[in-house]
Chain A
Amino acid sequence: MSLASYGKPASPAVVAVDALGPFAGVAVLVLLMHFVIGPAVGPYYAKILVDIAISIVLAVSLNVVNGFTGQFSIGHAAFMAVGGYTAAAITYFGTVKIWGGLPLVHADPQGWGLFVVGTVAGALVAGLFGLFVGLPSLRLRGDYLALVTLGFGEIVRVLLMQTGSIPDPKVIAEAPLYTLPLKLGGSLGFGGVPTYTNLFWAWLWAGLTLVIVYRLKASTHGRAFLSVREDEIAAEAMGIPTTSVKVRAFVLSAALAGIAGALFAHELGTTLNPKELGFQKSFEVVIMVVLGGMGSLSGAVLAAAVLTVLPEVLREFSEYRMIVYALILILVMLVRPQGLFGIHEVWELPVVRRLLGGRGPK
């Protein structure tokens, strides 16, 4: 793709369109989802579309670590939990502190600013946790990361279970801020989080995640990520600081998972609950990445959509879902270990290229 533009100086208009076009695309998608598709399909399908968007953020973000740098993280739900609880604490306690009284159960435009702040804070805190987990474990070779992320996931879950129940609004209003993070609802979950997440926010973040991660993949920095996955020794020999590249990928991935967590926490019909964000959830995300292709964003999007819709379509299926997922994982590993599309995007596959009438296979 880079070859097509090679050597030709681009006009300012082309530069601007190239830089801003995808953001405009995201804006169009978001508005379409919110004002056209949402009302047309009704609340049931709208919720599925929101779920798909959240899954996309999760799958694409895990792809940065598992797909791009070839490390194996299996604790993604923990970063989702960190982001989700951070964001929920900000919107819930924030609402009480700022406006007094309980947050409205339904979305209130007054709180949107708080929701954005919560989401961004969720991303930052999750990213910080990513740094703490990644820094020591990514220095080590081999499967340490898998073990450490697995352990981290359990620790987060257990710690969240140990938190106290949500205090009454009156208590919240008077409590000093630093005491509140210890009162996140425990094993019952964080109830009553305002339901800000809708098609607009979910697809906005999904779109931004896609643009960010795709652009990363297509840049020098992303190529450095990929080189680590391809051959660490060769990458070092080519001047790539592999440890720092891995840590960066891990932090970015954790931060994006934090965004997914924030969206999940504020979704209608979900409870922010330690049980929901345990190993099972992490495993689901791993399946999405493995199925779609290690390193393929379009593959991750496709897998995220399919694996979100499937349990809805096949009600009985959701009972056996983990068994089926495990089977899928084994099957893919045996038949096509690089996943459906491998490292490539759908449109880069020879078959698709031929269909599109572009440059044929070489």
Chain B
Amino acid sequence: MGLLDVQGVGIAFGGLKAVQDFRLDLPKGALQGLIGPNGAGKTTLFNLLTGVYPPDTGTVKLGDRVLNGLKPHQIAQAGLARTFQNIRLFGDLTVLDNVKIACWSRGWTTTLDALLRTPRFRAEENAITTRSMELLQIFELDKRADESARFLPYGGQRRLEMARALALDPKVLLLDEPAAGMNPQEKVALRNLIRDVRDRFGLTVLLIEHDMGLVMEICERITVLDHGVVIASGTPIEIQKNPAVIEAYLGASPVADASPGAH
């Protein structure tokens, strides 16, 4: 059994079965791709895994722990971190504070420590700042640490989403279209970054991405969703040859823009 074990998870919005009977067994250290046409249900699956929507059916397990029924913040603390397709940074706060916020649940001081500025409080604040700056360095954002997050360029905001998610010290990282809106150079850098971060932090990564070049190059295995159903699963080469996948992509209307809720 893998680290992230998803069994028969599904949800329907009214009559629309957004995700049905989804199964996935991610071993520790895996870098797995999740692709599919617009509106296939990829983001919805992330929302199911992270507790934004409670699944109608199925179970999600992280290691030995069943995540069903937990609140999103409990799931995050349990080790499942994510980024958002339509960026959800804390825009008015500084780049550094965005990352520091994710360190909160690992903190050890009480509010009273903060009010009295005890040595414990200083130690924690220093530790959090140091760690956050390290993460920002990895994502080449350290120079802009005290700017408001909203002023970062698009690519920078995507990288900050990843840095912030990593500050949770997660076991599994869910990336929702991290390359969207990036220019070609940024995409090349991102490719290496995702692999580096996976190796460095011993992460398990599930990656949603529309950029096929990126997905095919870095993912070891790929799962394909279409209309909420898994239509194929395998290595990049197997997926590229799979007739059902080709059909799904060619058959899908090219501008079927989904209008999802909580991305």
Contact = CB atoms under 8 A, between A and B. Distances in A.
Given A216-B114, A242-B73, A362-B144, A231 B105 contact: no
Given A219-B125, A226-B93, A19 B130 contact: no
Interface stretch (A3-11, A83-91, A169-177, A318-326): A3-11
Nearest to B106: A239
Contact of B119 (A7, A15, A227): A15
Looking at B89, B92, B145, which has the most chain A CB atoms within 10 Å of its CB?
A: B92
Contacts of A235: 73, 90, 101
Interface string A214-238: 0110011111101100110111111
A15 B109 contact: no
Contacts of B122: 10, 15, 18
A241 B124 CA distance: 20
A202 B35 CA distance: 62
A2 B104 contact: no
Contact of A219 (B102, B114, B165): B114
Given A237-B81, A343-B92, A362-B144, A19 B118 contact: yes
B199 to A, nearest CB: 24
Contacts of B42: none
Interface in A216-275: 216, 219-224, 226-227, 230-231, 233-242, 248
Nearest to A6: B129
A221 B73 CA distance: 15
A221 B111 contact: yes
A6 B130 contact: yes
B52 interface: yes
B125 A2 contact: yes
A226 B117 CA distance: 19
Contacts of B164: 238
A104 interface: no
Interface string B88-103: 1111110011001111
A341 to B, nearest CB: 12
Given A219-B125, A238-B102, A241-B71, A3 B117 contact: no
Looking at B71, B104, B168, which has the most chain A CB atoms within 10 Å of its CB?
A: B104
A75 to B, nearest CB: 24
B117 A215 contact: yes
A230 B91 contact: yes
A362 B77 CA distance: 34
A220 B118 CA distance: 14
B92 A230 contact: yes
A220 B262 contact: no
B18 interface: no
Given A215-B114, A236-B72, A231 B90 contact: yes
B90 A236 contact: no
A284 B117 CA distance: 33
A18 B133 CA distance: 23
Contact of A7 (B71, B128, B130, B145): B130
Contacts of A6: 126, 129-130, 133
Nearest to B92: A343
Contacts of B88: 231, 233-234, 237
A216 B101 contact: no
Contacts of B103: 220
B147 interface: yes
A239 B168 contact: yes
A105 interface: no
A240 B104 contact: yes
A234 B76 contact: no
Nearest to A295: B92
Nearest to A294: B92
Interface of B: 50, 52, 71-74, 76-77, 81-82, 84, 88-93, 96-97, 100-105, 107, 109, 111, 114-119, 121-122, 124-126, 128-130, 133, 144-147, 164-165, 167-168, 262
16 contacts: A3-B146, A6-B126, A10-B122, A15-B122, A216-B114, A216-B115, A223-B104, A230-B92, A233-B262, A234-B88, A235-B90, A237-B52, A238-B104, A238-B105, A240-B101, A338-B92
Interface of A: 2-3, 6-7, 10, 15, 18-19, 211-212, 215-216, 219-224, 226-227, 230-231, 233-242, 248, 295, 338, 342-343, 362
Given A219-B125, A230-B89, A238-B102, 11 more contacts: A15-B122, A19-B116, A215-B117, A220-B103, A220-B104, A220-B109, A224-B101, A226-B101, A237-B52, A238-B105, A238-B165
